[in-house]
Structure formats: C-alpha cells, structure tokens
Amino acid sequence: MDKSIHNLDDVVPGRNADAWRFVVRVIRLWEVPLFTSIEMVLIDQNGVKIHATIPKQLMYLFQHKLIEGKVYKLSNFTVLLNSGAYRTTHHTYKLIFQMKTKVEESHDYEISLIPNHGLTLTDISQITSRTQDYEYLVDVIGLMTGISAEREFVRDGKLTKILVIELTDHSGKCECTLFGNYVDELHKLMSKAVEGSPVIVIQFAKVKIFRGKASIQNVVGSTTRIYLNPSFPEALKFKEGKEVWFTFSKQNEAIKFAKGQEDVHLFCYQDHLNGYRRFLVTTYTEFWQRYKTMDSKTRHFYEVIQEGLPCHLYFDLEFNRKVNVGKNGDEMVNLLISTVLEALHEKYEILGDQDWIVELDSSTEDKFSRHLIIRIPKAAFKDNSHAGAFVSEICSRILNARGKDKSYEKLFIAKDSITNESVGQLFVDNAVYSRNRCFRLHLSSKAEKTSILLPTERFKCKNLSEEDIFMASLICNMDVDCGELLVGKPDSDCVKTQHFDTKLNCNVGNSVQSHPEFTLNTCTSDVSTTYYKGKSPFPSLDEFILSVASMGNIPGKIHSWYLYSESGFMVYNMTKNRYCERIGRHHKSNNVMYVVDLRREVYYQKCHDPDCKGYRSSSRPIPVHVFSNSSVVIGSSGMLDYKQPVEDEQGHQPDDNKPNSEC
C-alpha cells in the first residue's frame, strides 16, 4: 500500500489536519437526529477501528458521498479525544470531518485486505460478570435460545415495542433487549430463518446493569446492527466451532435446543454449592476434555438417556449391605450377566460376550452399588423403554426360575430391616428406564456424597484407557456401524424406522408403507428399512409362519420382521428354508419372505431373489385360532392399536409421572 497512507492506530492530535490520509472501509453509518450529525465507524487493513463524525453544518456536503460497506480514500481531518457514555471503538481518539476533507471511493486491489464487518466479539461470560454499565459498545455472537412475547410501553410519550431474546455461546448466556424498530427488524429476519436455533450477531450493543444483572440492549437510534444466520467468517467459525457447551435451567429447553444441532448430547449436573440441577448440551469430545480436569469432589454429572433415542442395555444394581449380610456382590453380578446373555440369545439370537460389558462401582461399607452397560456390537435397543421391557422379561424369568433353581436365590435381597421384609426383591432397579432418565457418569459422585463411580478391573474395562472407559460407559453413545435396533415390547410407533448415519445421528426415516402396492411388490432388499429381530407383537402368528416355512422337513427360521401399522401388513424375512413357490424348489442363496395382511387375515409368499422380483404367491387364509388371543385391534383411525401394558417383575405398570431421580 502507498507509504503516504497512514494507519488508524497512528492517529494522534497535534498534526496538521491535511496530513492525515487513510484507506478505510465504512462498517457502520447512521444519522443522529437529536444532534443532527452523521456518525460512522471506520476500519483499516489492520483491523483498527475509529469513530468519525460529520457535524451538522457539513452534512449537506458529505451525506451522499459515503455508503456503508464501501472503501474510501479519506484525508484532512481534525482529531479529538474519543469520549462519551457509549463509545463505538476503543480508540483513544476520533476523527471530525472538515470542509476540506476529501472523500474518494477506492477501487484498488487492496480493498480486499480490509475486513468487511470489523467484529470484535466479546464472550457472554465477560458481559454477565460485569457489575457496572460499560462505556464501550460490544459485539456479541450467540445462538438464540429463547425469546419473549412482544410487549409495548410508553417511552418519551410514545408507545414503544420491546422484546427480549436469550443469547447463548460456549461461555454462558445473557438476555438482549430490543426496542422500537429493532423488534420489527428481528421479526423480519426470523421470517426468513431456517429451523433450529438461529445464530444472532448483535454489533454495537450496550451493556446495562438492571437489578444487579448484566444484559445487553440496542442503542437508541440506529447505531446497533443485527445479523441473523450471517455468512461472514466469524459466524461460520462459531457455527462450525468444536467448543459446544450450552447450559439450561430446564430440561425441556435443553432437549429443544439439542434437536436443532448436530452430534450433540444431553447431560445433567448438580451445582456443588447450592445443589441446583442444570442441563448441559455438548459433544462427547468437548465434554470429556473439560470433565477429566474437574475437581473430583465437585463432579456430580449424569447422562440424560433421552426418550425415543437408541441406547445400550444398562442396569443399576444395589442393596443395603448391613441388611443383607453375607451377600457376595460379584457373584450376584456374574449370575445376572449369564442370565442376560442367555436371554439375548433366546430372544434375539445374539451370542453374548463378557467383553461387551462395562462395569462401574461406587459401593461403600453400607451399600453395594454398581452399574452395568452392555454394548452389543452393531446393535442397540430402540430406546430405554424397550431396554426396560427386556429387563422386565429377565426379572420375570428369574422369578419363575427361582423355585426350580436355588442358585437364583442369590439375586434376591431384603429391602430393609425395619419392615422385617423377607428376602423377596431383586437387586435390579427397574425404575431406571423412565423417560429422560439421569444416569450417573463414570468418575462422578452424587451431591453431598463422596463415593465416586469407578470402573472395576473386570470385563471390558480391564483393557481400556480412562477416556475409552468413559466413552464406552455412555449409554447413548452409538458406534458408527450400529444399524440394528432391538425391540423389547410391542410398539405403537412401529411404522417409523430408525437408522444411523456416519455421524452417530439417530434419524427417524420416512417409511414406505404410505404406498402399499409399492411395499408389497418390491424386493425388500431394495427398501432401506431396518427390520426388527426377536419376537413380534404376535407370538401366535410367528409360530404359524414358522410352521408354513418348514416345507420339505427343513425348519424355517424368522430372521427379522417389520410391521406397517397404517396399512396393516406384517413382513417376515426367513432363513434356513429357502423354498420358493415360483420355481418349485429351494433357492441356492436368496431367502424368501412371508407377507401377512392383518386386516384380511391372509398371507402370501414373496422372494428376495432378483429373478423373482414382483412375484407373489396366491393369498391363503390364516387359521382363526392364530388371532383368537391377539393383543392387537383395529382402532377407529384404521391403525393398529396395542393393548398390552409392560409390567415390572412385581406386576406393576410404570408410572411416568413419578419423580425422575438419579442413579
């Protein structure tokens, strides 16, 4: 750049006015009716900003020569001290236009070196920590995580609009109050915004203290600038930033916010000093980086197992040691694990392995307390209600086997000595499968407790680093290759499918049942649907299909099933027996399927072989007895309704309105 051009940080008083020459961009330009002047903020190629004023008597000369956003060669100024209650820049001085000030628009290549917006971003935590009004205007970027209803009040004898929004960045959150035309401007911007929490940039906002609390607001007039989801570098960096760390006082606010973000997860923690519970949205990586360095005495964190999201199988095991003298916790856990692995094999045809198990312990002299997380490779439960239903089945299995196999007596404990209750309760806590359950994290203790949840040196934990143990212990942390969801109970929402992409995001896909003819005349290998393993909602129908699929003395086996509840069709994918009615023999490699029309109570065969695409056998009736004890009815809406409550091992139905305590 021309050596005769000065930098803005060179500006000092005392030099001749005609000595100053700058190449600058006008990043903000506005009129002040009260003082009848034109104000502006200029920035040079070094990012240095300075305030400049065109006084009233010179407005006619310059008001049409300057446009916000343009770059100009300016010369001949008076330099004064930068003062005032709310200053736009931290520069010690400001420029005053004179009659002989020269303005020339610049088209030189150097203009690309000058910043377009000149943001100097202030962390929200720096704002909220202030105890007095700040003399400088600030630039703030954050996600809009809350918005109030619009109100009106009388200001200077005029009715003025007011609106409060909440901004959140990685350091915290604060309120931003907008007045007058800025309310309309925000509404206009939001009408064009996409879904999710928008990124808001407030440039040249003032910091105010009200009732001891710091917040920001627009400057009266036109100084402040609002951007929503802007595309300039600072905003893109913020949106793509790895430091995602947002806290909320209410769980529903945190869940709503998380739904608009990618690859974030929900945690809960209790403040060590006041015990207040707060909710945190962040990535697993960012959480671990901060969590591992926290003071172990003040670390009271929980994973929130969100309603409707896939999860690994987990258990909360506990009993009072003083009331249950002689109970061997390790022995009890081992017996439970063998029972669980046996049930996985029988229900889902999954051959379990103890290397899948993460075992964490926070036992004390008075209480045995242990968490188990079972990470089945390439699979997970559809959500924690399905995991809970499977655990209830296991508990029922243990109760039924108790009288036949005395070894199961080890798993039953006395609740307390006061009630003189006999040993009749399992040490498995069935209450931990409620909606949005908080489950204590590895390395955390409960508030006002000292016992920390730590890995035992058994199973999967014995060969892992501390970080790997933490990641493996997260119940909602799905592996990238997890593509199979296990169901533990009839699901009225079976019409929806779920799959995983490479970013670990669980998505509800669009089902293909909306067009039955497409569904029933297409090879299922062409349909991107996740089929369910295990027993279907219709055990009698499962048995009937198995009998049909056992032609030629080769017993067929149900590999997976899927229910299209709106159209009333059930699809069974078979293995072992590949007999195809179209060719009159077994296929060498491709399996067959059976489609059941639940409304007409008929079934027919289809085939996965490409040569049989489009083929369907003739429909055959299903015997009346198959549906005689069905738990499924056709509802008034025409969809399938399920009438089968899920009970725990004592026969109690879960109450979703009970408090969601931590474990």
| pLDDT tens-digit series, residues 44-99 | 999 999 999 999 999 999 989 999 999 999 999 999 999 988 899 999 999 999 99
Which residue, of 93, 113, 133, is where some domain finishes? 113
Q: Look at residues 626, 574, 616, 390 and name the one whose alpha carbon lies nearest to residue 489.
A: 390
Kindly state whether residues 410 and 504 are assigned to the same domain. no
pLDDT digits (tens, 9 = 90+) for 357-397: 999 999 999 999 999 999 999 999 999 999 998 998 899 88
| Sign of CA pseudo-dihedral 647, 649, 652, 658 | negative
What contacts 24+ positions apart, CB below 8 Å, involve 189-197? 189/226, 189/228, 190/228, 192/228, 193/228, 193/229, 194/229, 195/260, 196/259, 196/260, 196/261, 197/143, 197/144, 197/145, 197/257, 197/260, 197/261
Please tell me whether residues 101 and 128 are part of one structural domain: no
Q: Kindly indicate the confidence band of residue 272, based on its pLDDT and cuts at 50, 70 and 90.
A: confident
* Domain co-membership, 40 together with 129: no
| Residue 176 sits in the same domain as residue 139 | yes
What CATH number does the domain containing 191 carry?
Answer: 2.40.50.140
Q: Does 195 lie in the same domain as 103?
A: no
Is residue 13 in some structural domain? yes
Whole-angstrom Cα distance, residue 424 to residue 422?
6
CA distance 301 to 551: 56
Sequence letter at residue 645: P
In sequence order, the β-bridge partners of residue 642 are 632
Average predicted confidence (pLDDT) for the chain? 82
483: helix, strand or coil: coil
Q: Are residues 530 and 464 in the same domain?
A: no
Percent of the chain with pLDDT over 90: 46
Residue-wise over 630-656: b if at least 16 C-beta within 10 A, else e? eebeeeeeeebebeeebebbeeeebee
Average pLDDT over every residue of 252-261: 84
User: Does residue 109 sit within a domain?
Assistant: yes
Q: Report yes or no on 412 lying in a domain.
A: yes
Please state the pTM of the whole predicted model. Answer: 0.55
Same domain as 543, residue 458: no
**Are both 19 and 166 inside the same structural domain?**
no
User: What tokens were used for 24?
Assistant: 């600058």
632 plus 554 within the same structural domain? yes
User: How many domains does the chain divide into?
Assistant: 4
148 and 85 share a domain?
no
The per-residue DSSP string of 322-387 comes to TTSTT--HHHHHHHHHHHHHHHHHHHH-----GGGEEEEE---SSEEEEEEEE--TTEEESSHHHH
How far are the Cα atoms of 313, 348, 421, 443 from residue 355, in angstroms, in the given order? 14, 18, 37, 21
Assess whether 66 and 148 both reside in one domain. no
pLDDT value for 649: 33
Cα gap 410→571, rounded to integer Å: 42
Does 209 reside within a domain?
Answer: yes
Same domain, 322 and 469: yes
CA 232 from chain centre, in angstroms, equals 26
Q: What is the pLDDT of residues 480-506, one digit of tens each?
A: 888 888 887 654 433 333 322 222 233
pLDDT of 645 above 60 = no
Over residues 513-543, the pLDDT tens digits come to: 222 322 232 223 333 344 677 778 788 899 9
Residue 347 or residue 512, greater confidence:
347
Task: Check residue 507 and give its pLDDT.
Answer: 34
Cα–Cα–Cα angle for 139, 144, 146, nearest 5°?
Answer: 130
Q: Is 30 exposed, middle or buried (0-12, 13-18, 19+ CB in 10 A)?
A: middle
Domain boundary among 240, 255, 285: 240
Asked if residue 653 is part of any domain, the answer here is no
The candidate with the shortest Cα–Cα distance to 487, out of 529, 534, 530, is 534
Q: How much is the pLDDT for 505?
A: 30
User: Last residue of some domain: 92, 113, 134?
Assistant: 113
249 alpha-carbon distance from chain centroid: 16
Domain ranges, residue 545: 497-642
H or E element that contains 563: strand 557-564
Q: What are the φ and ψ backbone dihedral angles of 346, each rounded to 5 degrees? A: -70, -40
Ranking 130-144, 476-490, 555-569, 622-636 by mean pLDDT, the lowest is 622-636
281 part of a folded domain: no
Q: Assess if residue 650 is contained within a domain.
A: no
Average pLDDT over residues 106-121: 84
SS3 (DSSP) at 10: helix
147: helix, strand or coil? strand
Helices in 407-465 by DSSP H: which ranges?
Answer: none
Q: Is 118 among the domain residues?
A: no
